Chains A and B, each alone.
Chain A
Amino acid sequence: MKVSLNLVKKFTKVSVPTLELIDLIGSKLGAIEEVIDLGQRYQGALIVRVVESDRHPNADKLSVCKIDDGQVTKNIERDEHGLIQVVCGAPNVRKDMLAVWLKPGSIVPSTFGKDSLILEPKELRGIVSQGMLASSKELGLSDEHHGILELDKPAKIGQEFAEVYELNDVIIDIENKMLTHRPDCFGVLGIAREIAGITGEQFKSPDWYTSEYQEPIDFQTNNLIQVENKIPELVAEFLVQIISGIEIKPSDVQTQSFLSRSGIRPINNVVDQTNFYMLITGQPLHAYDYDKLKSIESSVDAPKIVIRKPNPDEQVDLLNGKRVTPSQATILITTGSKAIGLGGVMGGSSTEIDNSTKNIVLECATFDMYTIRRTSMENGIFSEAVTRFNKGQSSLQNIHILPIVSQAIVGVAGGQIEGSVLTANKNPSKQTSFPVEVKAVNNLLGLDIEMDEMIKLLTNVEIDVSGDNDQMMIKPPFWRTDLEIREDVIEEVGRLYGYDRLRQILPVRSSKPVAKNKLFEFRQKIRELMLRAGANEAVTYNFVHGNLIENVNQNPDLAYKLSNALSPDIQYYRLSLAPSLLEKIHSNVKTGYSKFVLYEMSKIVENSFKDHKEPTLPEEQYRIAMVLTDNTLASSAAYYQAKTYLGYLMTQLGIEIKLMSYDQQHIDAKFVQTSKIFEPIRSGLIYVGDVFLGIIGEPTQSIKKIMKLPDFVSIIELDLAKLLEVSNGQIYSQLSHYPKIEQDVCFRVPTTTKYSDLYNMTKKLIAESFEDAYFNLSPVDIFQGESSEYKQITLRVSLNSYSKTLKSSDLRSLMSNLKARTIEDFSGDII
């Protein structure tokens, strides 16, 4: 919302310097996006008289002028009469006219800011021009560029141009977002009222805005026009006024200038007045050409406006030249049979005001903010009217605004007001009063202000407050549609009093310790473990490209798909974490990293699994995934690198896992999509007892190929919530006073023997043989000769008794038991 401070000053005095005011607006009204010092743009723009204007000897369309600047310009070339030579291309330049001169060294105001055009003395077809005479467009006032600006106000030669049209102004651009609930602040009047309030001044609205309308109002019909509102629930008020005999022409320069500095393009005197009053009050108005309206339905004497919803496939041609087919929810302005505008969004071209318009229908109405917003979005129209209507303008302000705008139009365009104001609605709604306890205000703000002070703050901005017994009765003025409940008033008091003056005291709490979030704590623990293991934590997007899902053999139908993603890269919620990490391997390898472990802890969703507590939503599954690569190990199976990390993590978390071969029936339903990434014969399912924990293994060959992965890549993906459930923390073995004994055992077993079977058998036997000891059983070597049917597995037994020093003879019976079991259970032997 761009606000001209000069316009504000027409409604309130501003008692503080501009810089201080800007700070106050920031701390008491809302964030400021930009402050523009308008006057700066017009430095070097002077009022001059054209003393001579002669045809340029070398160019038909140029004139050589001598201008009089009242001798105020220093350091400029003058002729013997003290006049300055300027070459001008405008057809309207003539002797004795007053014009605006931009002197050399000044910036053309319309180019101020970006790509500023700085004028220099310049030769035009052999004749030097000292600066230029400016058009309305060059001065940034309008699009008018047919000739130089004709002053329409008295001015003195040598006077600064900015002074003549109140251009020594400051434009304050307040963030619209902050004012979402304040329809009144989309008008200068509302901002002026707030500025008075935050500087502690009493505001007084102009009489025309607040005084009761005394004239009669016709209902639905008079002899000139009829109005019918078929959707009063969406159009709370619809007033019209006929004005006849007007003359359309451009607005005066002052009006154009106020509009353009506020970001609105001047059009003609009638439209400009409706826009000017919209700027002042926040209330958009619309003018229809009465005669065009009448000609649409040739059968009737008086034209008719019917407000209704569109018929199926009904079309309307808009002022912006587009033809739209409004949806069923639209508020359509019609003549009954023909659509002539999108109510509150944009008028239609069939009743557009043009240079030949003589009679107009002026509309001042209130449209439902939600409908306006939808119509605006459906048709991609974001007009000034939409910006204001979708904040919920008060339906009670129309009757104050229509008459003043009608008068203003007659003032600039002549003609006369015909008949009474006509309304399409029966009873406009009324604002109701409500009580607010002084204590409630102080309690919520943490303040201790007296009722009188609160009343002063509120009445300064014209909120009607009466106070009695520590209770205020609030009667919101008609323009404050945002004031409905106690908290709305508390906000007003706090804001106007100043939030920076609140007493900052921490809330008192009990000394009971807060329970930490287990999962956050667990993730922190895992991060520490992974850091120690040289792994790198990644955070990747929850959304993935459909191609990634398909590339890793997953089913996109099971993934939630975004309906409004800007890019295909983020069209689906991912079904598992590992693919996002696999995707990051190639680029890292390319930048020179040959061995690394990337991991992530995050959540995934799949549309087949519903949340237990909130079944309308999917279950969010916590996962941890890691991908590992190391090209220095490329001769062995990548699987074992993942195995090393899995083993480390499980030991640290005190979890004993069981690895099962990859077969469909043992894969947990929630991991079916995840399992698609893995190469079955090089992968295993991780169980803890009956609990499925996740999958470890290598990606399939096709994934390796399509994702340009190095040969040596492995993956682990685990259910993080279950991991937390089964983790036991550190496991400690008490130390022994006696020295340990170590012995390597070399098993010769058929190649098909599972390592874990052998290991578990050994472990069990040791535990049974030495109850009073702690031991460690670790792999030393696995050897298999070429095309041999046997492999040799060497395990190291390290044993500590708590009660004595063990000798190798103590191991004898264990060894013979082991041998017997190896022969019996594995058809192998110990060598």
Chain B
Amino acid sequence: MNIDVENISEVLLSRFDGLDNKADILKSRELKTLYSIIPSLPEAERAIFGKKVNELTLKLKELVEKHQQKLEVPEPIDITAPFDINQNLTNANQLLTSDNGSQHPLMRELDIVLDIFYRMGFSAIESRIIDDDFHMFGSLNFPEGHPARDDYDTFMTKDKLIAPAHTSSMQNRVIQQNKSELEHGKAIACVIPGVVFRNEDVDSRHDHTFYQVEGVYVGKNINAGNLMATLRTFLEEYFGRQLDIKSQPFYFPFTEPSFEFALSCPFCDKKGCSVCSYSGFIELLGCGMIHPNVLTQAEIDPDVYSGFAFGFGLDRLVMMKYDIEDVRNLKSSKLEFLRQFS
């Protein structure tokens, strides 16, 4: 039999360039024929012929692989160029027009909140996203194993670190770091915005990740009346109107006395609406006078200084303000949602 492997090789190679699916070359009729011939050859020729066929197959396989790699790996580009080859000023990438742009409502609201607190004399520092037991609980007068810890549904890491469940985890740091203010006869006044985490089921009103804003004020002769006035002033400035406020006794291990602070609903003037669940009042803040143990932990003498702390949820504020129906929209990154907020 006189079948020339070289000839067939040439035929196949010239066909390869024209193939849409390059892998088809390995299934070609010619290649199959070559293999089918091998057993029928005389023993002496069989080895040589077989070797040739195998080499051809390998060569074709290599070609297919190379082609596929070329598809996988994009062309190199000149990363220092302003635009691609064969582009010019008129057809190159442009910035999107500004009407497409948006700021996240949480972040924009935070700017508004910070601006008010700056004007009221508060500085600002962001809270940590990963912290330890001491800052989350220990420094805040939560003894080991205290049932009050159960109210915080705290995420822990395998390394025994903590995903902070409240921005109060920064109180100890802020008070300690600003101690010199007190020594110079001034007060420590600081707000601490940040993201906090709670290990709870997610629904339209609850998310495991949300933003809080903490406030800390320490000085001489600071009293609970100062706390009420500060919160009222902030809220009236924020909502741009006069409000009635109510306080309920509450329990936090790190403040004493502790309060829950409610304001008359700014959306319905106490008439009752969906925002305030038809109660006329909105419970918005937890607050209180800083517990002496917390001051002592931060190396402040509670017989000389006193202070207050408060905290509220930013997501809640934003949801109320824009009547957002589902808290999950905030972190969804849906453009339908985001682009509504310039």
Q: Do A and B come from one complex?
A: yes
* Residues of A participating in the B interface, judged by any CB pair closer than 8 Å: 26-31, 177-182, 369-371, 373-374, 390-391, 443-447, 485-488, 490-491, 494-495, 499-500, 502-507, 509-510, 512, 514-517, 519-520, 523-524, 527, 530-543, 560-566, 570, 573, 581, 584, 587-588, 591, 593, 595-598, 601-603, 605, 607, 616-618, 620, 630, 633, 636-637, 639-641, 643-645, 647-648, 659, 661, 679, 681-684, 696-698, 701, 754-757, 759, 778-784, 791, 794
* A7-B221 Cα distance, complex, nearest whole Å: 43
| Closest partner residue, chain B, to A182 (CB atom) | B251
Q: Are B157 and A563 in contact (CB under 8 A)?
A: yes
Task: Say whether B339 faces chain A, with CB atoms less than 8 Å apart.
Answer: yes
B217 — which chain A residues lie within 8 A by C-beta? 507
Known: A562-B155, A640-B87. 15 other contacts (CB 8 A): A30-B249, A180-B251, A373-B147, A443-B221, A490-B257, A491-B256, A494-B257, A507-B187, A514-B122, A531-B342, A538-B333, A566-B208, A644-B95, A780-B88, A782-B83
* A532-B99 Cα distance, complex, nearest whole Å: 8
Q: Are A640 and B84 in contact (CB under 8 A)?
A: yes
Q: Are B94 and A644 in contact (CB under 8 A)?
A: yes
Task: Say whether B246 faces chain A, with CB atoms less than 8 Å apart.
Answer: yes
**When A499-B224, A543-B209 are in contact, do A535 and B76 touch as well, CB less than 8 Å?**
no
| Closest partner residue, chain A, to B98 (CB atom) | A532
**When A180-B251, A509-B121, A605-B130 are in contact, do A533 and B101 touch as well, CB less than 8 Å?**
yes
B333 — which chain A residues lie within 8 A by C-beta? 538-540, 581, 584, 588, 598
Task: Say whether B201 faces chain A, with CB atoms less than 8 Å apart.
Answer: yes
* A30-B257 Cα distance, complex, nearest whole Å: 12
B291 — which chain A residues lie within 8 A by C-beta? 487
Task: Say whether B44 faces chain A, with CB atoms less than 8 Å apart.
Answer: no
Q: Are B73 and A588 in contact (CB under 8 A)?
A: no
Q: Are B111 and A524 in contact (CB under 8 A)?
A: yes
A516 — which chain B residues lie within 8 A by C-beta? 114, 118, 123-124
B102, B110, B230: residue with the most chain A Cβ atoms closer than 10 Å: B102
A491, A617, A791: residue with the most chain B Cβ atoms closer than 10 Å: A491
Q: Are B87 and A636 in contact (CB under 8 A)?
A: yes
* A657-B159 Cα distance, complex, nearest whole Å: 39
7 smallest CB-CB distances across A and B, nearest first, come from A534-B96, A446-B225, A446-B223, A756-B80, A370-B145, A534-B100, A684-B79
**When A587-B334, A681-B77 are in contact, do A536 and B100 touch as well, CB less than 8 Å?**
yes
**When A31-B248, A539-B107, A782-B83 are in contact, do A605 and B129 touch as well, CB less than 8 Å?**
yes
**Which of the residues A371, A515, A698, A782 comes within 8 Å of B84, measured between beta carbons?**
A782
B246 — which chain A residues lie within 8 A by C-beta? 27, 500
| Closest partner residue, chain B, to A504 (CB atom) | B229
We find that the number of chain B residues with CB closer than 8 angstroms to chain A is 114
Q: Are A644 and B93 in contact (CB under 8 A)?
A: yes
| Closest partner residue, chain A, to B119 (CB atom) | A514
**When A502-B225, A587-B334, A684-B79 are in contact, do A782 and B342 touch as well, CB less than 8 Å?**
no
Task: Say whether B161 faces chain A, with CB atoms less than 8 Å apart.
Answer: yes
B98 — which chain A residues lie within 8 A by C-beta? 531-534
**When A446-B226, A538-B333 are in contact, do A531 and B103 touch as well, CB less than 8 Å?**
yes
Q: Are A506 and B226 in contact (CB under 8 A)?
A: yes
Q: Are A636 and B226 in contact (CB under 8 A)?
A: no
Q: Are A502 and B224 in contact (CB under 8 A)?
A: yes
Could you count the A-B residue pairs with CB atoms below 8 Å apart for me: how many are there?
A: 355
Q: Are B95 and A533 in contact (CB under 8 A)?
A: yes
Q: Are B335 and A591 in contact (CB under 8 A)?
A: yes
**Which of the residues A179, A500, A757 comes within 8 Å of B247, measured between beta carbons?**
A500
* A531-B99 Cα distance, complex, nearest whole Å: 8
Q: Are B82 and A533 in contact (CB under 8 A)?
A: no
Q: List 14 A-B contacts (CB under 8 A).
A: A27-B247, A178-B249, A446-B223, A490-B289, A491-B258, A506-B230, A517-B124, A536-B338, A543-B208, A564-B199, A637-B74, A644-B93, A779-B81, A781-B88
> Shortest Cβ distance from A581 into chain B, in angstroms?
7
A520 — which chain B residues lie within 8 A by C-beta? 110-111, 114, 124, 126
A531 — which chain B residues lie within 8 A by C-beta? 98, 101-103, 342
Q: Are A566 and B107 in contact (CB under 8 A)?
A: no
Task: Say whether B12 faces chain A, with CB atoms less than 8 Å apart.
Answer: no
Q: Are A588 and B335 in contact (CB under 8 A)?
A: yes
**Which of the residues B77, B101, B200 comes within 8 Å of A535, measured between beta carbons?**
B101
A447 — which chain B residues lie within 8 A by C-beta? 223, 225
| Closest partner residue, chain A, to B232 (CB atom) | A504
Q: Are B199 and A565 in contact (CB under 8 A)?
A: yes
B335 — which chain A residues lie within 8 A by C-beta? 536, 588, 591, 593, 596, 598
* A603-B78 Cα distance, complex, nearest whole Å: 31
Task: Say whether B64 faces chain A, with CB atoms less than 8 Å apart.
Answer: no
> Shortest Cβ distance from A7 into chain B, in angstroms?
22
Q: Majority SS of interface residues in chain A?
A: mixed
Task: Say whether B241 faces chain A, with CB atoms less than 8 Å apart.
Answer: no
Task: Say whether B271 faces chain A, with CB atoms less than 8 Å apart.
Answer: no
> Shortest Cβ distance from A760 into chain B, in angstroms?
9
**When A562-B163, A591-B335, A637-B84 are in contact, do A515 and B251 touch as well, CB less than 8 Å?**
no
* A780-B107 Cα distance, complex, nearest whole Å: 38
Q: Are A177 and B251 in contact (CB under 8 A)?
A: yes
| Closest partner residue, chain B, to A593 (CB atom) | B335
| Closest partner residue, chain A, to B82 (CB atom) | A779
A-facing mask of B261-282, CB < 8 A → 1, else 0? Answer: 0000000000000000000000
* A204-B92 Cα distance, complex, nearest whole Å: 86
* A779-B88 Cα distance, complex, nearest whole Å: 8
| Closest partner residue, chain A, to B117 (CB atom) | A514
**When A445-B223, A500-B247, A517-B125 are in contact, do A560 and B76 touch as well, CB less than 8 Å?**
no
Task: Say whether B320 faces chain A, with CB atoms less than 8 Å apart.
Answer: no
Task: Say whether B151 faces chain A, with CB atoms less than 8 Å apart.
Answer: yes
A28, A180, A370, A593: residue with the most chain B Cβ atoms closer than 10 Å: A180
Q: Are A488 and B251 in contact (CB under 8 A)?
A: no
B189 — which chain A residues lie within 8 A by C-beta? 509, 514
* A696-B159 Cα distance, complex, nearest whole Å: 33
A620 — which chain B residues lie within 8 A by C-beta? 128-130
Task: Say whether B97 faces chain A, with CB atoms less than 8 Å apart.
Answer: yes
Q: Are A530 and B101 in contact (CB under 8 A)?
A: yes
> Shortest Cβ distance from A749 into chain B, in angstroms?
11
> Shortest Cβ distance from B97 into chain A, in angstroms?
5
**Which of the residues B73, B132, B223, B249 comes within 8 Å of A444, measured between beta carbons?**
B223
* A647-B83 Cα distance, complex, nearest whole Å: 11
A-facing mask of B42-61, CB < 8 A → 1, else 0? Answer: 00000000000000000000
* A562-B336 Cα distance, complex, nearest whole Å: 32
**Which of the residues B82, B125, B158 comes within 8 Å of A563, measured between beta carbons?**
B158
> Shortest Cβ distance from B71 into chain A, in angstroms?
9
* A487-B258 Cα distance, complex, nearest whole Å: 11
* A489-B130 Cα distance, complex, nearest whole Å: 36
A-facing mask of B106-144, CB < 8 A → 1, else 0? Answer: 111011001000100111111011111000000000011
A514 — which chain B residues lie within 8 A by C-beta? 118, 121-123, 189
Task: Say whether B86 faces chain A, with CB atoms less than 8 Å apart.
Answer: yes
* A374-B143 Cα distance, complex, nearest whole Å: 13
| Closest partner residue, chain B, to A543 (CB atom) | B209
Instruction: State which residues 158-179 of B face A: CB under 8 Å.
Output: 158-159, 161, 163
* A444-B147 Cα distance, complex, nearest whole Å: 27
Q: Are B95 and A539 in contact (CB under 8 A)?
A: no
B247 — which chain A residues lie within 8 A by C-beta? 27, 499-500
B85 — which chain A residues lie within 8 A by C-beta? 782-784, 791
Q: Are A443 and B306 in contact (CB under 8 A)?
A: yes
Task: Say whether B312 faces chain A, with CB atoms less than 8 Å apart.
Answer: no
> Shortest Cβ distance from B167 into chain A, in angstroms?
14
Task: Say whether B156 faces chain A, with CB atoms less than 8 Å apart.
Answer: yes
**Which of the residues A542, A659, A698, A784 comes within 8 Å of B129, measured between beta carbons?**
A542
Q: Are B93 and A641 in contact (CB under 8 A)?
A: yes
**Which of the residues A532, A536, A782 comes within 8 Å of B339, measured between beta carbons?**
A536
